[in-house]
Amino acid sequence: MWWYDGLAAPGWHDWLALALTVVGFWIAIVQLGKTRSASETAAAELRKARTKLNSDQLAAVVTQMQMIVADIDFAVQENDREVAHRALLRFSYVANESIALLGNLEADHSTLEDRLRQAAGHALDAKSSIVGKKVVDVARTAKSAGNEISGLCVEISGLVAKDRYQIGVAENV
């Protein structure tokens, strides 16, 4: 091959090419480090945003539970089976939504999730005992479910407040 001479010493262009290659590798390594750092920062920010979104959704659930408790209290006071029926059914939906939201939290809330499942079952049982009967004592049937729902509402409110405090302490959220 006429363009390659194995006995010739490297020229200045060979040394320049070697230097540019070393600089290119150094720049690539630095950029990889910056990319990794940016990726870790983005993942941390995503976790914070998920936590805030989950906390906001739980706050909305608390408001729904408070309205359900108010409806059950009204139904008990007025012996209104229609209002009790709708409120107890709505609670079963809200309880299942709450269970899903609690499952998204980093901390383990399995006991609260179990209590929500049991309360949803009790609410559906109370609803079933109201439907189809001519004379129903709504106060007796719905009051215990209302008390159970009220206690769960207070507990979830405490979780929301705790999460909001932790989020408020975190930067850039």
- The C-alpha angle with vertex 84 and arms to 83 and 86, in degrees rounded to 5, equals 65
**pLDDT of res. 92:** 92
Instruction: Pick 144 or 119 by higher pLDDT.
Output: 119
- Highest-scoring range by mean pLDDT, 36-40, 51-55, 106-110, 168-172: 36-40
Considering only 2-16, 31-45, 53-67, 113-127, which range has the smallest mean pLDDT? 2-16
What average pLDDT does the segment 66-74 reach? 94
Considering only 79-83, 158-162, 168-172, which range has the smallest mean pLDDT? 168-172
How many CB atoms are closer than 10 A to CB 125? 13
- The band of 21, judged by pLDDT with boundaries at 50, 70 and 90, is very high
Question: What are the tens digits of pLDDT across the range 23-35?
Answer: 999 999 999 999 9
**pLDDT of res. 81:** 85
What average pLDDT does the segment 92-108 reach? 88
Cα separation of 95 and 90, whole Å? 9
Q: Is 95 buried (19+), middle (13-18) or exposed (0-12) by CB count in 10 A? A: buried
Instruction: Pick 169 or 90 by higher pLDDT.
Output: 90
**pLDDT of res. 50:** 84
The string of DSSP codes covering the chain is: -TT--TTSPP-HHHHHHHHHHHHHHHHHHHHHHHHHHHHHHHHHHHHHHHHHHHHHHHHHHHHHHHHHHHHHHHHHHHT-HHHHHHHHHHHHHHHHHHHHHHHTSSS--HHHHHHHHHHHHHHHHHHHHHTT-SS--HHHHHHHHHHHHHHHHHHHHHHHHHHHHHHHHSTT-
Cα separation of 112 and 156, whole Å? 9
Mean pLDDT over each residue of the chain, to the nearest integer: 86
Whether the CA torsion 101, 112, 155, 153 is positive or negative: it is: positive
- The band of 130, judged by pLDDT with boundaries at 50, 70 and 90, is confident
Whether the CA torsion 158, 161, 163, 166 is positive or negative: it is: negative
**pLDDT of res. 135:** 73
**pLDDT of res. 104:** 82
